[in-house]
Amino acid sequence: AKEGQFNILVSDSMSKEGLLPLLESDQVRCVEKNVNDVEDLSIFDALLVRSATTVTGELLDKMPKLKIIARAGVGVDNIDLDAATKRGVVVVNAPDGNTISTAEHTFAMMMAVMRNIPQANASIKAGEWNRKAFQGFELRGKTLGIIGFGRIGTQLAQRAKAFEMSLLVFDPFLTQERAQKVGVETASLDEVLENADIITVHTPLTKETKGLLGMKNIAKTKPGVFLINCARGGIIDQEALKHYLNNGHIAGAALDVFEEEPVADQELLSFEKVIATPHIAASTKEAQLNVAAQVSEEVLHFLQGEPASNS
């Protein structure tokens, strides 16, 4: 880099268009390369990642000049926050760039699992014409339980209302005032578990939410319930999920995220009633442009001495 220029490492692939503020700035030099393929990590002032790069204390030790880590997305569970804080490195994310894409994908997964679309698609492409095997359910009149009512949960609720679904929302941080504004009913976790026909989770993965839908809580759900996870693998415990799929309690599950990614649990995927996508809820042209642009601006401002807004 030239004198006074900042070095920025973009470790995971990101929207070029979104990165333009960085690529065009003469104040920065941008290297687009995976951290594992960079010989000298010590020169970088900023690190941009999606979810593929795991940021550990060990990695940070190789980056003594690092001032900021930006996550082009929402979840920061691939970044060791304590390790970053200890080293005085600021961590920022792009909290709303992929909200709509994730809410839409969740909706698509809900419809797909309730109407057996992936199964019917596979069947017709295999040369069959089987109209009996794929009877599904309407969304209208069903109760959708939403666990976690942040940006994504809220957008999902609005869409579900247009489909004439009833909504039950559990979120310990949700105020009555906000619930009323969006027009949803707040409920306890048990009320959601006991009354929902479909349950979808929209929380981060934390100590509190890991295994939230596990053996004990899934037992409280209605027989024939559908479960959806487009948030983070592990919020629904996979062993428990398989148990209740095996005994027929769960009618179907739609999963975009897994405890281990790429998913290794072939047993889970082999259930006819499980439909799955490879963590693509945020993979739209719009969302990727949004998140890359959001973190680019943020990093640029931060390096210019302004405070970070999404840390």
Q: Report the catalytic residues.
A: 232, 261, 279
293 binds ligand MLT (CB under 6 A): no
Fill in the per-residue mask, 78 to 107: x = in contact with ligand MLT (CB under 6 A), - = not in contact. Answer: --------------------x---------
Which range binds ligand MLT by CB under 6 A, 38-46, 68-76, 131-139, 297-305? 68-76
Contact characters 32-61, ligand MLT, x per CB under 6 A = ------------------xx----------
Q: Verify binding: residue 73, ligand MLT, rule CB under 6 A.
A: yes
CB neighbour class for 111 (10 Å; exposed up to 12, middle 13-18, buried from 19):
middle
255 binds ligand MLT (CB under 6 A): no
The amino acid at residue 282 is: A
Number of residues that bind ligand MLT (CB under 6 A): 7
By CB under 6 A, is residue 229 in contact with ligand MLT? no
Nearest residue (CB) to ligand MLT, 74 versus 289? 74
Tell me how far apart the alpha carbons of residues 250 and 273 are, in angstroms, rounded to a whole number: 9
> Which of 75, 118, 136, 214 touches ligand MLT by CB under 6 A?
75
Q: Which is nearer to ligand MLT, 73 or 252 (CB)?
A: 73
Smallest gap from Cβ 140 to ligand MLT, in A, equals 30
Give the chain as a 3 state SS string: CCCCCEEEEECCCCCHHHHHHHHCCCCEEEEECCHHHCCCHHHCCEEEECCCCCECHHHHHCCCCCCEEEECCCCCCCECHHHHHHCCCEEEECCCCCHHHHHHHHHHHHHHHHCCHHHHHHHHHCCCCCCCCCCCCCCCCCEEEEECCCHHHHHHHHHHHHCCCEEEEECCCCCHHHHHHHCCEECCHHHHHHHCCEEEECCCCCCCCCCCECHHHHHCCCCCEEEEECCCCCCECHHHHHHHHHCCCEEEEEECCCCCCCCCCHHHHCCCCEEECCCCCCCCHHHHHHHHHHHHHHHHHHHCCCCCCCC
Q: Which is nearer to ligand MLT, 98 or 155 (CB)?
A: 98
Residue of the chain from 59, 74, 235, 300 that contacts ligand MLT (CB under 6 A): 74
Q: Check binding of 282 to ligand MLT (CB under 6 A).
A: yes
Task: Rule CB under 6 A: say whether 109 interacts with ligand MLT.
Answer: no
Residue with smaller CB distance to ligand MLT, 67 or 202: 202
Stretch that binds ligand MLT, among 26-34, 55-63, 72-80, 107-115 (CB under 6 A): 72-80
Report the C-alpha gap between 121 and 74 in whole angstroms.
32
Pairing relation of β-strands 274-276 and 28-32?
Answer: unpaired
CB of 114 to ligand MLT, least distance (A): 23
Interacting residues with ligand MLT between 167 and 186 (CB under 6 A)? none
**Interacting residues with ligand MLT (CB under 6 A):** 50-51, 73-75, 98, 282
